[in-house]
Amino acid sequence: MSSLIVVLFFLLLLSLIIFLAFKLNKTTSQLHAITNQKKNIEDRYSALELVDDNKENVISIISHDLRGPLNTLNSLFSMWNDDSISLKEFTDLKPRINSQLQSVIFLLDNLIHWSKINEPGNIEAFCLEEVLQLNIALLRENAGIKSIRINMEMQAKVPVYGNKNQIDAVVRNILANAIKFTPVDGQISIVAKLNGRFMELSVIDTGVGMSDIQIQKIIDKEKHNTTIGTVGEKGTGLGLQLINKFVYGNGGSMNITSKINSGTNFTVHFPLQQENDLVL
């Protein structure tokens, strides 16, 4: 009889242990589920905060940086229509008018890229030299206003592989920044060469240079960084964010070396088309 009681006791004890283990496992699973839900909520909240910040950033750009050049153009043409300025005076202002128009077009282009920043793009092999030539031609008049010389050296002519529109935006923004921060009679050198499985593109200017803190702000893509150019050119910081996003998004990398009053070397690496990337 006593043996039966002992057996029943152990069976009851075992059942209790199994029951407690089951409850503990269930509780642990629930805790994991709650933790995952909390993390998902936090991630969504962070994403919404980022979207809200981006929205405010774009609204600020449209309301201030875009409206400024348009107001200037409107004033100039109003003065022309009212005969407040002569034909010669208006002609003399043509470089300024062109610069303002280029500023508006450039800003609108960046806003379009920004609006599509998270959209998947078409990946293809293309000639980097053509992209460079196109952007030099596009920005040559801006450089000419400051008598800045632009030299290009293509040490290799191998197709790069990536989103052509995004890499085009990278090149244009880097070159525009070099012009912005290079003083009158300065020089910009563009050098493209092979570096392993990458095309290395360096834009070297004789501009005002940057401190280590300024370089870190550019590398830190979460920060909005903008500085006035050598002749008062304004910026939005949007171009630097696009450079960060598009360089790394296309499998590349970037490096900046600079010294105050000694110019800047902005180097990016774009992947080359590999054999396994070819579509047969």
- Per-residue model confidence as pLDDT tens digits over 53-73: 555 555 555 555 566 667 777
261 found inside a domain: yes
Domain tally for the chain?
A: 2
Indicate if 156 and 78 belong to the same structural domain.
no
- Please indicate, yes or no, whether residues 73 and 147 belong to a single structural domain of this protein: no
Provide Rg for the chain, Cα atoms. 29
In a domain, 104, yes or no: no
> Which positions of the chain have pLDDT values less than 50?
45, 47-51, 232, 236, 275-280
CATH of the domain at 140: 3.30.565.10
Question: What pLDDT, on a 0 to 100 scale, did the predictor assign at position 128?
Answer: 94
Instruction: Find the domain containing 1 and state its range.
Output: 1-92
Q: Which residue, 92, 114, 137, sits at the end of a domain?
A: 92
| Residues 12 and 146 occupy one common structural domain | no
Same domain, 49 and 138: no
Q: Are residues 258 and 203 in the same domain?
A: yes
pTM, full prediction: 0.66
Is residue 170 situated within a structural domain?
yes
Task: Tell which of 43, 70, 92 closes a domain.
Answer: 92
pLDDT on residue 186? 95
Cβ count near 97 (within 10 Å): 17
| Residue 114 within any structural domain of the chain | no
82 and 206 share one domain: no
Q: Is residue 46 part of a domain?
A: yes
Average pLDDT of the chain?
A: 76
Is residue 40 assigned to a domain? Answer: yes
Instruction: Select from 72, 92, 112 the last residue of a domain.
Output: 92
**pLDDT tens, 182-233?**
999 999 999 999 999 999 999 999 999 988 888 887 777 555 556 655 554 5
Look at residue 150 and tell me if it is in a domain: yes
